[in-house]
Amino acid sequence: MITLGFVYVLAGLCFAAFAVLGARDRTNPKRFGNAAFWGLLALSMLAGDRLGDFGNGLLVLALVAIAGTGQIGRAPGGEAPAAEQAARAASHGNFLLLVALIIPAVALAGTFLFKWVPGLADPKQATLISLAIGVLIALAVGMARLKPPPLLPLQQGRRLLDAVGWAAILPQMLASLGAVFALAGVGEVVGGLIGTAIPQGSLFGATLAFGLGMALFTMVMGNAFAAFPVMLAAVGMPLLIKQYDGDPAVVAAIGMLAGFCGTLMTPMAANFNLVPAALLELRNPYGVIRVQIGTALPLLAVNILFIYLFAF
């Protein structure tokens, strides 16, 4: 049976290859910092369960130290000229799009297949396993048709990660932070504080606190999945669901959408808001956020209204 361990091994081998290739790139003045960062990440993927909690904690601190001291950077150049890129795109046409579409298609198909045919893969992790298989199939198809040098996919993957830097693993860090907050009882503490501000018996006040709290905690933590357990424990479960008998599906689903509105407005969601600005080389690193605020605020208001109208 294929388990989630397969995904970890695949990711770990990729990061290990990025570390080796990065260490050999003499054009990059920060090549050893890059190699150490991606190498430690590879170690966490390949042997994290053997390191234990203390070992993984030290590994995370080492990652923070490397990134915090500015030891990660990209080498100059490495990109094909724009004219050459345009010529290649015109030559291969829609095939490039087809290769990209293989990944979500295989992920969707595998999610259903692995649940219908038990024993092939862990049904609880069917989507992630299918996504990893889709990446391998897309890579094989692209290599067979385009016939690039064998190491080119890894080299370009390394170049992209070097450009993104530490922000590439920020979602995982923030999701872990949300789990820590939930275990530490932060939700109960926040619930007590919010409870003093909500008028007694006010359903709309509780709904407003839940929606705004999801957005604000997401802005602080950078990830709605990290904010959700905190706000569900603070307001969603004790007030909206238990006290006011709200529909859990509506409260949870639309509450997550309210959190995603916060994602649009925070630099903590670096993979959404800072990475595109860096890759596009925008003058203002927060340019993406400035454009999205005009959409996020009215959308947040609509989500709060929808919880109030449809959950009760």
Domain co-membership, 143 together with 11: yes
Domain co-membership, 205 together with 157: no
What is the per-residue pLDDT across 90-112, written as a single tens digit (0 to 9) for each?
A: 777 788 888 889 999 999 998 88
What confidence tier does 121 reach under pLDDT thresholds 50, 70, 90?
confident
Predicted TM-score (pTM) of the model is 0.72
Q: Which residue has the higher pLDDT, 74 or 38?
A: 38
Domain co-membership, 262 together with 159: no
Q: Which residue has the higher pLDDT, 24 or 78?
A: 24
Domain co-membership, 46 together with 155: yes
Domain co-membership, 149 together with 242: no
Domain co-membership, 33 together with 154: yes
What is the per-residue pLDDT across 39-92, written as a single tens digit (0 to 9) for each?
A: 999 999 999 888 888 998 899 899 989 988 888 887 776 666 667 677 777 777
Asked if 277 contacts 286 with a C-beta cutoff of 8 angstroms, the reply is yes
Q: Is 178 within a domain?
A: no
* Mean pLDDT, rounded, for 183-201: 75
Rg (CA), the chain: 22
Say whether pLDDT at 195 is over 80: no
* Residue whose C-alpha is closest to residue 7's, from 117, 124, 94: 124
What is the per-residue pLDDT across 284-303, written as a single tens digit (0 to 9) for each?
A: 888 889 999 999 999 999 99
Domain co-membership, 24 together with 70: yes
Say whether pLDDT at 265 is over 90: yes
Which residue segment(s) compose the domain that 92 sits in?
4-167
Tally of structural domains, the chain? 2
Q: Is 57 within a domain?
A: yes
pLDDT, residue 299, reads: 96
Q: Is 84 within a domain?
A: yes
Q: Is 172 within a domain?
A: no
Q: Is 176 within a domain?
A: no
pLDDT, residue 310, reads: 94
Q: Is 79 within a domain?
A: yes
Domain co-membership, 204 together with 149: no
Q: Is 102 within a domain?
A: yes
Say whether pLDDT at 276 is over 80: no
Q: Got the DSSP string for 48-113?
A: HHHHHHHHHHHHHHHHHHHHHTT-----S--SPPHHHHHHHHHHHTTHHHHHHHHHHHHHHHHHHH
Q: Is 101 within a domain?
A: yes
Domain co-membership, 129 together with 190: no
